[in-house]
Structure 1
Amino acid sequence: MAELVLSALLPVVFEKLTSVLENKIARSKGIHSELKKWERKLRMIQALLEDASEKEVKSKTVKQWLNDLQHLAYDIDDILDALATDAMQREVVNESQPITNTVRKFIPSCCTSFSLSTRLGSKLDDISTRLQELMDEKYKLGLSEKNEGSKDKNRGYQTSLVVGPSIFGREGDKMELVQKLLSDESCNENFGIVPIVGMGGIGKTTLARVLYDDRLVKDHFELKAWVCVSDDFDSFNISKVIYQSVGGKEKDLTDLNLLQLALRERFMGKRFLLVLDDVWSEKWEDWKTLEGPFFAGASGSKIIITTRKKELVRQLLNHVHPYILQKLSPDNALSLFAQNALGVNNFDLHPQLRPHGEGIVRKCDGLPLALEALGRLLRNKPSEEEWKWLLDNEIWKLKDDGGILPALRLSYLDLSACCKQLFAYCCLIPKDCVFEKKDLILWWMAEGFLHNSDTDKTMECLGEEHFQELLSRSFFQHVPDDESLFVMHDLMNDLATSVAG
């Protein structure tokens, strides 16, 4: 929660700092240089917020660091308000009492400002000390300015290898998608795109792996390549991985144009299958920079794209009907959970654990990532008490060994500061509570979340845009059989509660 508050508060503090620094009162009190130091250090700390927001999930010390920074920011805001108020009062006095002002010219400025200087002196020193302490602690905590390529490093290590003997409940999905891959349906280009869309943790990457490794698919395509794109859409690195995967010669290619010319030569007249896993970028220029060599392939080539963003598929790829991956059925979910918890896909040898297992599965609501993570958490723990403990506790309170929060949190971290605040507010929505879009937007408006001086758009318009952004990223879901109503997945609700603090 502290990161959310700071994201909104620090820009206000910077604006006030600029105003006070431009005012003569700051210079006359000899605090101008101190305020400049504050501004410089705060901007350095602001650059660490993204890294701190990721690490606070697992580190109590980072969470405390953010809380201390939040309190410090409020104290700085109070000091700046006091300076601004004093300047305003002096201006009023100067305008209303010209005679008094003439007299004051003969009085040293140190005497006229004695009261405020004395009152703020110790506070200024205290803030400077605390600010320096926070700067010193960042090294101990390992906080650094986040660069685009360092987010969720493990996502970059996803591979095409299928883990485990089989997948549960995806046989129908697999058959339908294999038919799409093998078909020579007409399209404007030599290649067709097969988008797989769904919320984080629903199994898009796992299904893509199974398709990639299918025998019929292997025999159908002459060339195959798998790239985990993640949130850093680097056209050069993506092209390089593809080139190496399709048997390109080991060349020291450092120029994108030369690399893509070589890649086009490899693709020329051959049917290829390419998987772009976990795509986030919605920039048209990113896709246009990458796709050039694909046109050299033979007709019937296919590109599988997995993403959480429906809008990306519709706007960027002009694909009206992406394959929406649904949650697992109750029976398949129970089998998947049992396989991870017990090593077998049923409870025949552990009938006493079945009621607790069924409760946990209902809580996970068909989300494979949650089922696998919680199942592994209980592996080799046949005690009923441990299973009951897990069932009765909120998932977000559990240790993060299973990767539940990191997987869903990636979606959250990619949001704008405003959308983060709006999503965190949704922790107030009870679990399984059905709501209307207009009601939620009105709640946001009532809290003052939709004020934005940088645009002429109405609050209703901003609320609509932010709601659609959250909906397209699976933070909200349509209620089955009623497109006008919405609901939050339980794990999304837990995530909102976690980030709200």
Structure 2
Amino acid sequence: MAESFIFSIVESLIAKLASRAFQEASEALDVYDHLREFEKTLSLVKAVLLDAEQKQEHNHELQEWLRQLKSVFYDTEDVLDEFECQTLRKQVLKAHGTIKDEVSHFFSSSNPLVFRCKMAQKIKDVSKRLDKVAADRHKFGLRIIDVDTRVVHRRDMSRMTHSRVSDSDVIGREHDKEKIIELLMPQNPNDDDKSLSVIPIVGIGGMGKTTLAKFVFNDKRIDGCFTLKMWVCVSDDFDINQLIIKIINSVNVDDGPLRPQNLDMVDLEQLQNQLRSKLAGTKFLLVLDDVWNDDRVKWVELRNLIQVGGAAGSKILVTTRIDSIASMMGTVTSHKLQSLSPENSWSLFVKWAFKEGEEEKHPHLVNIGKEILNKCKGVPLAVRTLGSLLFSKFEANEWEHVRDNEIWNLPQNKDDILPALKLSYDFLPSYLRQCFALFSLYPKDYQFFSIEVARLWGALGLLASPRKNETSENVVKQYLDELLSRSFLQDFFDGGTFYRFKIHDLVHDLALPPNQSQKNDDLEHVHRWIIVKFEYHVRNTIPRILTVGNFDIMSELREKPFAL
């Protein structure tokens, strides 16, 4: 989705070029006129970018034009970063440098004369490239849209700030719940079968497998049937050690500690002993959510470790998208999760698109809404996402725009629901799309905390300046509330001073660029951006801490950019 937040990049570049610090620096380096011309061209391109973003899906030439712009803009960011770093270096020398430092600086590549020539040439180069690409904007018949007018409407967050699923939040899954509970409950009170029963729930992404598993997991009948309940999200990596650690920590959390144990340095034998100790003589229910592993050897190894020590009647509930995995793991026939009925789809849609009873005041939207639902194919995530998108919008043309959007006509894979999610993504303001896209830097099922998200967004300059009586934390809270209101976040917990959340796998995929090569280019740019800024700031202030013995901190940061 890199092309979809170019508008935000341009806004950032223009704001930086217009700042007093850059004007002073450009005058001092005698490149003021070059930068002013560059800024004018940027403004011309910015005027048509929002229209280009909306039309790119159906025009490969336009997509290529946006990619060329993105390349110029990224190189421009690098040039402006050099400006910032040079300014910082001068400030550090002025405040802390000695005569020796100043002489060394004069004879280095940072010498003002050398730097001015180098920067002037770089600015000329990116200016020529931008002029050449910008000239092609007339070929596409783009409209001028100077301001991103898309806004996100707030909604009541109170019902969404917990990961436990209440009965009122689940629609159309009562029959599925009863079928799963029937399989989990003892078939015969005198049954002493010690074999471990594994019950798979299988369905396409977004169908509500995890929601159904939580629906079952939180039922009071299950509490009465099992002494111990454990929940583990497996996701892409089926690492035996890590899964055992997750299971142990799931038991620990149930026992009450605030923080799970750090068991990463414990060997497998010790982990197995801990696991046996936790499960010894206990009738347990273990949920393995979102399984992708199709290696039967790994599964059998894990199953054998789990079933040693557990009491008769212990069960494992598995959720997966893949039939063959469900068949490999299951000891009973898989429970295939089907699409919602039209009636249940409408009930779910109404729950997210309107406040309670509000739909009765807008009968003109009912038929349009039902036509939109036909495109969602009964997939709860798609229904909920589009309902959130239309929340507090009561003009028929807004609903018709969603219904008639050309994105529905794009080629789709079987059971693909990404068009519904992509449509909601496209309606986000550009500043929010750029923030959201950075979630793709993290692995699936990553548990985010608002504090680290604030650091990442802040480091990349993506946060708006706080208004009067506001802080940057208020801005981050607003951004996350807006994403939550679109159903892009899940398992959301409001801790008062912090937020904790995850994003759905399909939403994570939505944050990724369209192809792997582009993804690598974009992520490498972001990593390089963070590291270069950090390196310049640290090297020019406290260089002595960067190397301790043979340990180079910057090498570590380059290998593990998330350590920042």
Task: Please give the TM-score of this superposition, normalised by the length of structure 2.
Answer: 0.43
Task: Please give the TM-score of this superposition, normalised by the length of structure 1.
Answer: 0.48
- State the structure with bigger RCO (CA 8 A, min sep 6), 1 or 2: 2
